[in-house]
Structure 1
Amino acid sequence: MATVQVIRSEWTKIRSVASTVWTLSLAVVVTIALGMLISALARSEFGRMSTQDRLTFDPTFISFAGMSLGQLAMIVFGVLVVSNEYSTGMIRTSLAAVPQRGTFLFAKLAVATVLALVVSLATSFAAFFLGQAMLGEHRASLGDDGVLRAVIGGGLYMTLIAVFSMGVATMLRSPMLSLGILVPFFFLISNILGYVDATKDVVRFLPDHAGSRIMQVVPPVGDDTPYGPWGGLGIMVLWVLAALVGGYVLLKRRDA
């Protein structure tokens, strides 16, 4: 089967499964709604902030507060895109139709990544503009130094979260196992280790901590992170590539 036909097939699979469509929709709604809420709360509390907090106030990053939950939906999307076929047994039919496993995986990743990128960028820009509207006189402008980079970076961050989840799901095949590892990793383990002195330096190089740096315009006080916004995103890209390579190797070596 030609690559173009495989890509069309994967697009049909994704848009015909209600769970993936609803998951992406949830990512958009949660990210924007929570970002607006946190931005409105930040505006009301700004007058009671300390001088130091005001100096380090990052209106752009505040508008992305909803991504903490929005990324959960992107994780679920990435896992479902890959593991749905394993859970239903359709993977055998798919691999019989496309025996070139590299082509099969590339087509699936390409379609899902483009879809996630379009949705994530639209969500990031919407979250920024609506969040800034909530902040009122404390808002940032898209033309301010570093803001456009942060907004585009927010879309890239959410996309990479989804692609990383696809790589992990390809390795593990089971949706429950994949989510059982990814969700605690991003929402519990990563945060807990950040508060432990012995592991603080290690946490900086985990995908979520490193990647989220791209969305920051005003660095926190005393920040001594050894990389910048694009460096952090680069570290996240390395994690994603490792997950994809692992998924490809296992897909090639084992039976469906």
Structure 2
Amino acid sequence: MSTFPAVLRSEWTKIRTVASTSWTLATALLITAAAGTGICAAVNATFDDLPKDQQVTFDATQMSFSGMLLGQLAILVFGALVVGSEYSTGMIRTSLAAVPRRGRLLLGKITAATALALVAGVATGFVSFFLGQAVLGEHSTGLGGENVLRAVIGVGLYMALLGLFSIGVSMVLRNTAASIAVLVTFILILPIVLSVVHSTRKIAEYLPSQTGSAIMQTVSASASGSDAPYGPWGGLGLMALWALAAVAGGYLTLAKRDA
């Protein structure tokens, strides 16, 4: 069972048959869509109270994805479970015995998991967009608006890269609880802490969650008042580098350490 298609089928079976991994992706969709819809409803009700500059640069599309702050937590858990569940049960030894080429095993794992996260992410993007716009009323936009489709599909790309990053980090740590703790701190907490202090605000702009989320914006950085030195695709490219670095670290750990 050393051919890549066989490895890919095996990894897909593992992910599909572990209920917790499937539920985390469903949770990501539900939380993102529900929270985003609630925030959009609140913004629509208080839109006239917003400062004039915020009304002019209002990004209706990105507002639909405001629930991603919570939804991405489920993606982090998903990535940690994909790896951690094998180490916690000892199944990783069986996997390595069946697929001695560790690079091929890791490639099959990240391909199956990232593809699933991408599909779930694109679904999350469309569901969140249509629900959010439905409650924004006269402040809403359509799927045919400028940069809107790119932003909606960008939700899927962001979630896929976030899942890939999580798998890489989890492969280094090889422990589900430790991986979740590190990922939540790095992705959710650290950007907020660094953004509070003016001297470290620039550092926060280059962290994965900040760079990757730029793909969900439809209003340009200059128009929205942001001084981020990259655009939507540039930000996503930086996040891709973070994900590749994490996977590289995971591969080195897998190649050099015993199970």
CA–CA separation in structure 2 for the residues paired with 1:86 and 1:78: 13
Q: TM-score, normalised by structure 1?
A: 0.97
1-side partners of 2:150 and 2:136: how far apart? 20
Match of 2:241 in 1: 238
Q: 1:226 corresponds to which residue?
A: 229
How far has the Cα of 1:152 moved from its partner?
1.2
Q: Match for 1:130: what amino acid?
A: L
Q: How does 1:97-176 map to 2 (within 5 A)?
A: 97-176=98-177
- Is residue 248 of structure 1 aligned with residue 251 of structure 2? yes
Provide the identity percentage: 55
Aligned residue-pair number: 256
For each residue in 1:168-223, what CA deviation from the matched residue of structure 2 results, as whole angstroms up to 9, or x when unmatched?
A: 00111011111111112222111110111111111111111111111111246432
C-alpha separation in 2, matches of 1:12 and 1:214: 31
Provide, for residues 60-83 of structure 1, a one-character-per-residue CA deviation record: whole Å limited to 9, x for no partner. 111001111110000000110011
AA matched with 1:143: G
Task: Give me the whole-angstrom Cα distance separating, in 1, the residues matched to 2:186 and 2:7.
Answer: 33
SS at match of 1:194: helix
Q: Structure 2 CA distance, aligned partners of 1:153 and 1:4?
A: 28
1:248–1:40: structure 2 CA closer, same or farther, 3 Å change rule?
same
Q: Does the alignment pair 1:190 with 2:208?
A: no
> More deviation in 114-123 or 213-222?
213-222
Q: TM-score, structure 2 length as denominator?
A: 0.96
Distance 2:152 2:217 in 1: 9
Give the alignment's Cα RMSD to 1 decimal.
Answer: 1.0
User: 2:188·2:209 contact (CA, 8 Å) conserved in 1?
Assistant: no
Could you list the per-position Cα deviations for residues 121-178 of structure 1 after superposition, in whole angstroms to 9, with x for gaps in the alignment?
Answer: 0110111111101101110111111111111111111111111000000111011111
Alignment gaps of 5+ in structure 2:
none
Supply the distance in 2 between the matched residues of 1:221 and 1:165 (Cα, whole angstroms). 30
Structure 2 distance, partners of 1:126, 1:245, is 33
What does 1:82-93 align with in structure 2 at a 5 Å threshold?
82-93=83-94
SS of residue matched to 2:46: helix
